[in-house]
Amino acid sequence: MIMLQRSKLTLFTRQGYTCGALLGAQNINAMLRDLSKPIRTVLRWQILATAAVMLVAGSLIGVHGAVSAALGGAVSIFSGFASAVVATLGKADSAGEVLLFALGAEAVKIGLIVILLWLVLATYRDVVVLAFLGTFTATVLIFTMAFFVRDA
């Protein structure tokens, strides 16, 4: 059981203002601080690649090309970030539990990708599909490079 410090507001409550489903909620930056160096590095690379494609698409296609490229990168960045947060929240004691947390993190990533791709394609009428899917594909491939970044 996790022991939480109680303030005057939560002195007489049973769980305080955090509960088991919100582990780490007492510190807003807990999840960001727990992300490993490879994940932080790859997220930075994804942001830089998205910005570069935005500039190119904006200059060649126009405003809608730049916005489409930004949205394509955002889908991958947000889903990768959510996957990394889910993975860091899991505290496994065995190899089986590590595998379950990794599969859960990937399920979150794939689910968010499907939802966000659908959301953008269904709502943004002027999407430039080449810029959108090209940036999305590039940033997804960049995320796989986390394997090659050293955690020193």
Considering the domain architecture, whether residues 73 and 116 belong to the same structural domain is answered as yes
User: Do both 54 and 119 map to the same domain?
Assistant: yes
pTM (two decimals): 0.72
Query: With a cut of 70, which residues of the chain have pLDDT below it?
Result: 1-35, 151-152
Q: What residue numbers bound the domain in which 26 lies?
A: 1-30
Chain-centroid distance, C-alpha 30: 15
Query: Considering the chain, what percentage of its residues have pLDDT values greater than 90?
Result: 49
| Total residues found in the chain within this entry | 152
Same domain, yes or no: 94 and 115: yes
Q: At what angle do helices 129-143 and 37-60 cross, to 10 degrees?
A: 160
**What SS3 class is residue 16?**
coil
- 19 shares its domain with 57: no
> Does residue 95 sit in the same domain as residue 115?
yes
52, 142 contact by CB (below 8 A): no
The structural domain count of the chain equals: 2
Q: Is there a single domain that holds both residue 2 and residue 40?
A: no
Give the C-alpha separation, 94 to 21, whole Å: 21
Q: Are residues 89 and 116 in the same domain?
A: yes
Distances from the Cα of 6 to the Cα of 28, 64, 87, 118, angstroms = 17, 51, 28, 43
My answer on whether 75 and 5 are in the same domain is no
> Residue 50's pLDDT is what?
96
Report pLDDT for 18.
44
Give residues with Cβ within 8 angstroms of 121, minimum separation 6.
Answer: 127, 132
